[in-house]
């Protein structure tokens, strides 16, 4: 017998953020909608399709802000995400992790069951063979992208690598439909000037289009030319030859993206609501009930010009306290303090006061939570409660 008590928050009884049990995740719907529109408009200008990556939001309710009508193309980071979104009618799903033999079977079974077209990613002949075998086992023709490496970030083939053609040929022999090429300029996260970001976007575009051209010259149709990262997607000034752009964190943004220069602080759509549970006035510390379990261990800004600790601290309405960050975090405790060298004074926050903490990395912070309490601007009213999925 599972006698776990029902979390009061699951009863949907919270009318304002004052009713919420802390720590908990807030999502500002106005900022979300603005961020979604901004990138859709930018990509749309070039006539390319935006295929949002759902790994950040992992929520059907967020997906419906993007696709209020018919479900459209999405990217996912796990097959559990693919299954979740297919369950809500999404059909055009790219699983953007290199395919293993077991994942090939599971993804194709999902396609067979739901009619979804799950597109896989590969960069080796072994994966082409595994996918072909999974296709014969499940009776579904597999579709896959060849993954490209445009900036030495992770996996993928360089456009000039002879393996590109070898893999494409092997896919054909194995009965795998080559739907296109796919790249991700992950190194763009380390940049912070407009020039460098524009150049990274153009490098990503040129290398990806080049690979598609090489494949076509060898008789492979390669209909989809897919690229993207949140920084390069926003700084692209030319998408000639590109058919689709992928991005995920753009929906929420975070302090890393702020440090890269893609967004303003006011664009950050999620935060953790926390309660003051102590203080050490002699050290200039205020303790809150949000530690790394609620904020995540992500310290992405530690390698940027401005280290934001475990996050920037705002008042309960979301207004930033100058120079106050989460300086340290243990599992369920965060220590608020001024940045080193600051001449500001710590705010006066008694036991029970509440703050909002902005994320270093939205994907990581959100992953620590099972739902979003949806707010709008400085209003304490909770508009909705949106659940997240998780797991693999």
Q: Which of residues 216-275 bind a copy of itself (CB under 8 A)?
A: 275
CA torsion through residues 101, 106, 109, 111, sign? negative
- 42, 52, 62, 84: which one contacts a copy of itself (CB under 8 A)? 84
Residue with Cβ nearer a copy of itself (121 or 215): 121
How many alpha carbons lie under 13 Å from residue 287 in its C-beta half-sphere? 12
Q: How far apart are CA 298 and CA 200, in angstroms?
A: 24
Minimum CB distance to a copy of itself, residue 102 (Å): 7
Give min distance, CB of 239 to a copy of itself, in A.
Answer: 24
One residue of 65, 210, 385, 390 binding a copy of itself per CB under 8 A: 390
| Site stretch for a copy of itself (CB under 8 A), options 65-73, 146-154, 172-180, 318-326 | 146-154
Minimum CB distance to a copy of itself, residue 342 (Å): 21
- Binding mask 109-138 toward a copy of itself (x if CB under 8 A, else -) reads -x------------xx-xx--x--------
- β-pairing verdict for 270-280 and 49-52: unpaired
Stretch in the footprint of a copy of itself (CB under 8 A) among 172-180, 209-217, 263-271, 290-298? 290-298
- Segment interacting with a copy of itself (CB under 8 A) among 61-69, 196-204, 222-230, 358-366: 358-366
Given the structure tokens 């996918």, which residue do they identify?
A: 131
With CB under 8 A as the rule, give the number of residues binding a copy of itself: 75
Among 29, 111, 143, 368, binds a copy of itself (CB under 8 A): 368
User: In 3-state terms, the chain is what percent helix, strand and coil (to 5)?
Assistant: 35, 25, 40
Q: Does 293 bind a copy of itself (CB under 8 A)?
A: yes
Q: Measured from the CB atom, is 78 or 243 closer to a copy of itself?
A: 78
Of 28, 83, 187, 244, the residue at the interface with a copy of itself (CB under 8 A) is 83
What DSSP string runs through 37-82? HHHHHHHHHTTPEEEEBTTTT--HHHHHHH-SSS---EEESSHHHH
> Contacting a copy of itself (CB under 8 A), which of 15, 16, 64, 88?
88
- At a CB cut-off of 8 Å and minimum separation 6, what does 236 contact? 42, 43, 46, 198, 201, 202, 205, 245
Distance CA 77, CA 349 (A): 40
CA 270 to chain centre: 12
Q: Is 112 helix (H, G, I), strand (E, B) or coil?
A: helix
- Binding test (CB under 8 A) with a copy of itself, winner from 99, 222, 242, 251: 99
Question: Exactly one of 40, 49, 65, 101 binds a copy of itself (CB under 8 A); which one?
Answer: 101
Least Å from the CB of residue 100 to a copy of itself: 5
Secondary structure in 3-state letters for 272-338: EEEEEEEEEHHHCEEEECCCHHHHCCCCHHHHCCCCCECCEEEECCCCEEEEEEEEEECCCCEEEEE
Asked if 349 and 289 count as a contact pair (C-beta separation under 8 A), the reply is no
Q: Which of 370, 376, 379, 380 binds a copy of itself (CB under 8 A)?
A: 370
What's the sign of the alpha-carbon dihedral 162, 163, 166, 171? negative
Positions 296 through 355 that interact with a copy of itself (CB under 8 A): 296-299, 328, 330-333, 335, 350-352
The piece of 101-109, 224-232, 239-247, 378-386 that touches a copy of itself (CB under 8 A) is: 101-109
Where in 41-60 is the site for a copy of itself (CB under 8 A)?
55
Interface pattern 9-28 for a copy of itself (x via CB under 8 A):
------------xxxx----
Phi and psi torsions of 116, nearest 5°: -70, 150
Q: Residue 332 burial by CB count (10 A; 0-12/13-18/19+): exposed, middle or buried? A: middle
Among 29, 59, 78, 301, binds a copy of itself (CB under 8 A): 78
Q: Which two tokens stand for residue 43?
A: 């990509």
Nearer to a copy of itself, 114 or 243 (CB): 114
Residue whose CB is less far from a copy of itself, 55 or 234: 55
DSSP string, 341-365: T--SPPP---TT-EEEE--S-HHHH
């Amino acid at each position: 017998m599972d006698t776990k008590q029902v979390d009061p928050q699951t009863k949907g009884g919270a009318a304002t953020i004052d009713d919420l049990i802390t720590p908990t995740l807030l999502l500002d719907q106005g900022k979300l909608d603005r961020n979604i529109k901004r990138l859709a408009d930018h990509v749309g200008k070039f006539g390319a399709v935006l295929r949002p990556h759902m790994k950040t939001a992992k929520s059907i309710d967020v997906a419906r802000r993007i696709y209020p009508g018919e479900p459209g193309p999405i990217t996912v980071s796990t097959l559990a995400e693919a299954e979740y979104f297919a369950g809500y009618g999404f059909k055009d799903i790219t699983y953007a992790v290199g395919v293993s033999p077991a994942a090939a079977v599971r993804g194709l079974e999902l396609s067979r069951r739901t009619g979804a077209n799950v597109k896989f990613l590969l960069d080796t002949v072994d994966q082409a063979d595994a996918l072909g075998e999974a296709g014969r086992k499940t009776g579904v023709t597999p579709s896959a992208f060849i993954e490209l490496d445009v900036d030495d970030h992770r996996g993928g083939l360089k456009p000039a690598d002879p393996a590109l053609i070898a893999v494409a040929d092997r896919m054909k022999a194995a009965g795998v439909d080559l739907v296109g090429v796919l790249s991700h300029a992950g190194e763009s996260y380390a940049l912070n000037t407009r020039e460098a970001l524009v150049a990274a976007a153009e490098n990503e575009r040129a290398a990806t289009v080049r690979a598609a051209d090489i494949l076509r010259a060898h008789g492979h149709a390669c209909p989809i030319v897919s690229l993207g990262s949140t920084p390069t997607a926003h700084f692209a000034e030319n998408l000639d030859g590109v058919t689709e752009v992928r991005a995920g964190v753009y929906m929420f943004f975070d302090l890393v993206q702020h440090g890269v220069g893609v967004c303003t602080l006011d664009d950050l759509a999620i935060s953790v609501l926390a309660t003051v549970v102590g203080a050490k006035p002699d050290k200039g510390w205020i303790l809150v009930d949000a530690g790394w379990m609620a904020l995540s261990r992500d310290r992405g800004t530690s390698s940027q010009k401005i280290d934001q600790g475990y996050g920037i601290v705002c008042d309960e309405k979301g207004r930033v306290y100058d120079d106050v960050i989460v300086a340290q975090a243990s599992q369920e405790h965060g220590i608020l303090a001024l940045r080193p060298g600051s001449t500001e004074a710590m705010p006066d926050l008694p036991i029970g006061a509440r703050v909002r903490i902005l994320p270093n990395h939205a994907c990581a912070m959100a992953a620590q939570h099972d739902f979003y309490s949806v707010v709008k601007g400085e209003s304490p009213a909770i508009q909705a409660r949106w659940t997240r999925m998780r797991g693999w």
